Amino acid sequence: MAVALQSDRGCVLDARPLLDGAYSPCVRWRGAQKSRVKCRFKCFQVSKSHFSANAAEGGGNADMSRETVKPTKKRKRKHSELNHGEIDSQIFHEKIRPVILEGASSLVESARSLGYLTGDTEPPTEPPPSRECGLAALCGMAKELPVADAEEWAAAQPLVAEDGCTSHVDLFSRVTENRAAWASVVTLMGEEYVIPPHTAFLLSDFTRIQPLVQYGVTFDLIVMDPPWENKSVKRSRRYSSLPSSQLKRLPVPLLASPSCLVVTWVTNRPSHRRFVRDELYPHWGVEVLAEWFWVKVTTSGQFVFPLDSQHKKPYEVLVLGRYRSSADTTAGQPGTSEVPVEDQRLIISVPSALHSQKPSLSEVLKPYVGAEAKRLELFARSLQPGWTSWGNEVLKFQHASYFTLAPADDRADVGQDNSRS
């Protein structure tokens, strides 16, 4: 994700440059044969707001402040009829509303002056793939397989063997690495997947997370997007949710380097936010530093949902903190290289139409962790160059159906790069 614009309020992200760069060059492996291909992720960006007909009046470039004043025709309950959680959410929303509205208006206006968020982006020409992801079910079946010993856990395996074969890959009990400097289209479990360069991943659930610990790498940045419990997830059955208390089982202190930056995506339920701040982070020894907001806008710069909607808000919360090991005595002292993290910054971007696909935070967080930071994503559903990723659907958005693959005009050979990322 490229930073198109940055100010003291936050930043505007442009998805396309990083996505395009991650998959060029790209090699397709079929047995021992390899060929160059043009690989492009199908970017399913949201181009229209989810407003009622009245709220949409004024066109795509309407003032953001006007998008929130038109109530829907649905009967509103009285304040006294709201339950405790809804009242809690309303109080939190009223507190941060000026930050979201003023910051987003300023950033979108600045972005438009640079040619972004003008509505000129072409809408997707095809709908997102409707295929069911069976990776979580495969992880469940893998629990019946014999557990590998610690020595096997610690030994990461290459994605592609010297003979070009991928049938040797044990996705469920060993970390797999694409050590090459190019993306690879490979066959795994009978399906084609596109794997970015310098990437490592483990496909498993909690019961098989130990290989990640035994991998022998500690990380300077850990980002997680937990499958929080909520009514929407239960109704849609898109994925299995996880009770908040189970998150404490994650071995974050074993995976974090000293002063590791920990970032957690949180739903708009204040109870989840408080749990992260008051229980989860203290349990791991993580000091809370800031709360940021991902503000979702259309390609025309409008909020994707009305700011004051009682159902879905156009923003999500990120809670940022630093891991403080018991041996860390330098945190916060003058002369240390730790970069302070500002509070209440906004990340403005056009969301993907793919459910629960978050923007990459690589470029946004680089100033706080350094360009050479070792980075880990937990509960990942896709892979990123230079990152290690873990989750029971870690390859979901790497399936070839989410990409356009075509023969490359350039027939130049791609050399072999076995360096470990």
For residue 345, the domain's CATH number is: 3.40.50.150
Candidate ranges 5-19, 136-150, 382-396; pick with highest mean pLDDT: 382-396
Kindly state whether residue 92 falls inside one of the protein's structural domains.
no
What's the whole-number mean pLDDT along residues 388-412?
A: 88
Mean predicted confidence (pLDDT) in 146-171: 78
| Residue 279 banded pLDDT, cuts 50, 70, 90 | very high
User: Is 59 inside any structural domain?
Assistant: no
Q: What percent of the chain clears pLDDT 70, i.e. is strictly above it?
A: 80
Nearest to 52 by CA among 310, 279, 239, 254: 310
**Could you tell me the pTM of the whole model?**
0.88
Instruction: Say if CB 17 and CB 2 are below 8 A apart.
Output: yes
* From 29-43, 175-189, 287-301, the region with the lowest mean pLDDT: 29-43
Q: Is residue 66 part of a domain?
A: no
Closest CA to 336 of 255, 256, 259, 222: 259
Distance CA 211, CA 255 (A): 11
CA gap 356, 267 in Å, rounded: 11
Range of the domain at 374: 2-47+117-329+337-407
Residue 47 has which token pair? 């181009």
CA angle 316, 320, 323 (to 5 degrees): 150
The answer on pLDDT for 204 being more than 80 is yes
Domain tally for the chain? Answer: 1
Contact 228, 241 (CB under 8 A): yes
User: How many Cβ atoms are within 10 Å of 355's Cβ, its own excluded?
Assistant: 10
Phi and psi angles of residue 288, each rounded to the nearest 5 degrees, phi first: -70, 130
Average pLDDT (351-378) is 92
pLDDT of residue 10: 96
Q: State the average pLDDT over residues 276-305.
A: 96
Cα–Cα distance list, 408 to 26, 101, 145, 400, 402 (Å): 9, 45, 40, 16, 18
- The reply to whether 136 falls in a domain is yes
Instruction: Establish if 52 belongs to a structural domain.
Output: no
pLDDT for position 142: 77
Residue 378 lies in a domain: yes
pLDDT confidence tier of residue 327, bands split at 50, 70 and 90: low
Task: Tell me, yes or no, whether 359 lies in a domain.
Answer: yes
Judge whether 160 lies within some domain.
yes
